[in-house]
Amino acid sequence: MINVTIWNEFVHENIHDEVKAVYPEGIHMALANGLQESGFAITTATLDQPEHGLSEGVLNQTDVLIWWGHMAHDRVSDEITARVVRRVQEGMGLIVLHSGHFSKPFKALMGTSCDLKWREAGEQEILWNVNPSHPIAEGIDASVILEREEMYGEYFDIPTPDELVFISNFAGGEVFRSGCTFRRGRGKIFYFRPGHETYPTYYKPEIIKIIANGVKWAQPAAGSALQFGNVQPVRALNEVPVV
């Protein structure tokens, strides 16, 4: 069983009635309820919990961390950020949703500004499946239509993705790399764009299916820990190799 921790800053839902009307229990609970059928062992964590709910113990037991953040990126401590980055490098999977592109862990792992263009106009988004043989795209049609979403547009200041799985186009004309994968150390990262807090995107079965596929793809792979620094030779230095 894959151990999944869903992290949500859980700020919008507590201070904005418009958001609370869409996600009364919080975005993290909407995601947890949607993903429950996938058979994952799911826990949730929020910003205002001690250590943001991401203690060493919690992260050590997490196979895949799902991250949603927006208006409180600066309130995430540098210590917890470093802890998340270290665990990803050790092999924990990370799925970064929507405005999590500007989160401290994602920016640290990307090494770029991660900035982009945006517009809140409730316009249609068409999410195009450009890598249909990829495990994250399993069971997903050629396109997914979201009738109302926030626009994100290029240029998206990220490193060139290892793989591009989805791109989006918006009614206003912009396009965006909406589903990107990266590898850092032993860890796998999936950035997935849809999910503005005022729209019911996370109740759409296709979106939950993509996130569930992402969890399965990003789970840690078996293998030894990475080694760095000074090491002893694997054979005596005076040993003559057999040709």
List CB contacts of 115: < 8 A, sequence separation 6 or more.
102, 156, 157
Q: State whether residue 98 is helix, strand or coil.
A: helix
Kindly give the residue spans of alpha helices, DSSP state H, lying in 55-178. 56-60, 78-90, 104-110
Q: What is the rounded average pLDDT of the residues 58-71?
A: 98
pLDDT reported for residue 224: 82
pLDDT at 239 over 90: no
Residues in CB range of 120: below 8 A, 6 or more apart: 150, 151, 196
Write the CA distances from 35 to 19, 90, 170, 182, 204, integer angstroms: 21, 25, 27, 22, 12
Q: What is the pLDDT of residue 243?
A: 67
- Please tell me the pTM assigned to this model: 0.95
Whether 237 has a pLDDT exceeding 90, the answer reads no
Task: Compute the distance between CA of residue 162 and CA of residue 181 in angstroms, rounded to an integer.
Answer: 6
Q: Which of the four pLDDT bands, split at 50, 70 and 90, describes residue 234?
A: confident
Place of tokens 């003559």: 240
Give the span between the Cα atoms of 25 and 73, in whole angstroms: 21
* HSE-CB of 238 using CA atoms within 13 angstroms: 0
Asked if 116 and 101 count as a contact pair (C-beta separation under 8 A), the reply is yes
Q: Give the model's confidence band at 62: pLDDT under 50 very low, under 70 low, under 90 confident, else very high.
A: very high
Residue pLDDT, tens place only, 200-213: 999 999 999 999 99
What is the tens place of the pLDDT at every residue in 213-223?
A: 999 999 998 88
Q: Is the pLDDT of residue 103 over 90?
A: yes
pLDDT-derived band of residue 110, with 50, 70 and 90 as boundaries?
A: very high
CB 201 within 8 A of CB 116: no
pLDDT at 241: 67
Q: Which residue type is seen at 43?
A: T
Alpha carbon distances (Å) from 217 to 55, 86, 137 = 24, 19, 10
What confidence score (pLDDT) does residue 18 get? 97
d(CA 123, CA 128): 16
Residue 110 identity:
M
- Amino acid at the residue 81: T
Distance of CA 220 to the CA centre of its chain: 15
Instruction: Give dist(CA 18, CA 33) in Å, integer.
Output: 21
Stretch 17-27: mean pLDDT: 97
Please write the tens of the pLDDT for every residue from 122-147: 999 999 999 999 999 999 999 999 99
Alpha-carbon distance 135 to 165, whole Å? 9
